[in-house]
Amino acid sequence: MPYGNAAGYDGYMGRWSLKLAHSFVRFACPEPPEAVLDVGCGTGSLLRAMAAEFPDCRLFGLDPSVDYLVFAGTKTGPAIFVAADVEALPFAQGAFDHCLSLLVLQDIRDQAGALREICRVTCRGGIVAACQWDFAHGMPMIAAVHQAVEAVAPELYRSSRSKAGRAFATLAELRLHWASGGLREIATAELPVTLRFADFTDFWLPVLSASTPTTALVASLPADARDAVSLHLRRVLLGSRLDGSFSLTAHAFAVRGRTG
């Protein structure tokens, strides 16, 4: 499904993305940037982190979704937003000294072509960096929901998973992808992100947003099944406690390199 409902997405995944973005910026920018393109800026988490870390740099956000761009514009300081696809970037060769992409690479079909375009608009010696979640092992906030849906509605869950059919890159594969794209001085990192929830409601309400494949799966359940998923999750996340705060830690893979 295409991602929709920018406000819902930002409430569900945006708080994870924003915290990850600050770690990613520190990894991706070994020197202060002058002009940065955020490829697939979504709701603007990376742009917000860039503005906080490097207030003097010029920021550009690109995304195919106008709704997401409008939302990002309400959350970000001075930035130029462009609606376009990564496969055909509407910028001149070497227009940016840093081209960064947060949590987008896994959703691009032609990743090699996208990387060529990103490198084209990055100046010689500039930085190209990307970050994606460790989808296989590092997303407990999503895995817990999937496990609860599987326990409550196994047939629906199996049907939804049979349509997923995506394999996600490992850290080693990201490094190889960057090397195959002609980038040099390649570095990789695993970035942990810990988020603390005030209580179960703080975790659960955004799961009802129907703004991502996972939350849409929950929204597709009958009301009684959603209640059962909520109860299952509460037991998993809180144990014997009736309520209270708890933390979850996710992990992301990051890669950076310089153009030749």
Report the SS3 class of residue 252. Answer: strand
Q: Quick one: what percent of the chain has pLDDT higher than 70?
A: 96
d(CA 99, CA 97): 7
How far lies 184's CA from each of 2, 36, 176, in Å? 33, 19, 11
Q: Which of 1-15, 96-110, 128-142, 194-208 has the lowest mean pLDDT?
A: 1-15
Q: What is the pTM of this model?
A: 0.92
Q: What is the pLDDT of residues 42-79, one digit of tens each?
A: 999 999 999 999 999 999 999 999 999 999 999 998 99
> Which residues, other chains included, contact 173 with Cβ-Cβ below 8 Å and sequence gap of 6+?
none
Residue type, 177: H
Bridge partners of residue 247, in order along the sequence: 196
Q: What is the pLDDT of residues 154-204, one digit of tens each?
A: 998 888 876 555 668 999 999 999 999 999 999 999 999 999 999 999 999
- 112, pLDDT greater than 70: yes
How far lies 37's CA from each of 63, 102, 238, in Å? 11, 11, 41
Q: What is the pLDDT of residues 157-170, one digit of tens each?
A: 888 876 555 668 99
d(CA 127, CA 97): 6
Report the SS3 class of residue 138. Answer: coil
Task: Look at the block and give the residue holding tokens 């996600």.
Answer: 168
Q: Please report the pLDDT score of residue 1 as a whole number.
A: 43
Q: Please report the pLDDT score of residue 63 as a whole number.
A: 97
d(CA 15, CA 248): 12
Domains and CATH numbers, the chain: 6-258 (3.40.50.150)
- 118, pLDDT greater than 60: yes
* 259, 125 Cβ separation under 8 angstroms: yes
Q: Please report the pLDDT score of residue 4 as a whole number.
A: 63
Q: Please report the pLDDT score of residue 182 as a whole number.
A: 98
Q: Which helix (H) or strand (E) holds 18?
A: helix 15-28
Q: Which of 19-23, 167-171, 224-228 has the lowest mean pLDDT?
A: 167-171
* 171, 253 Cβ separation under 8 angstroms: yes
* 188, 171 Cβ separation under 8 angstroms: yes
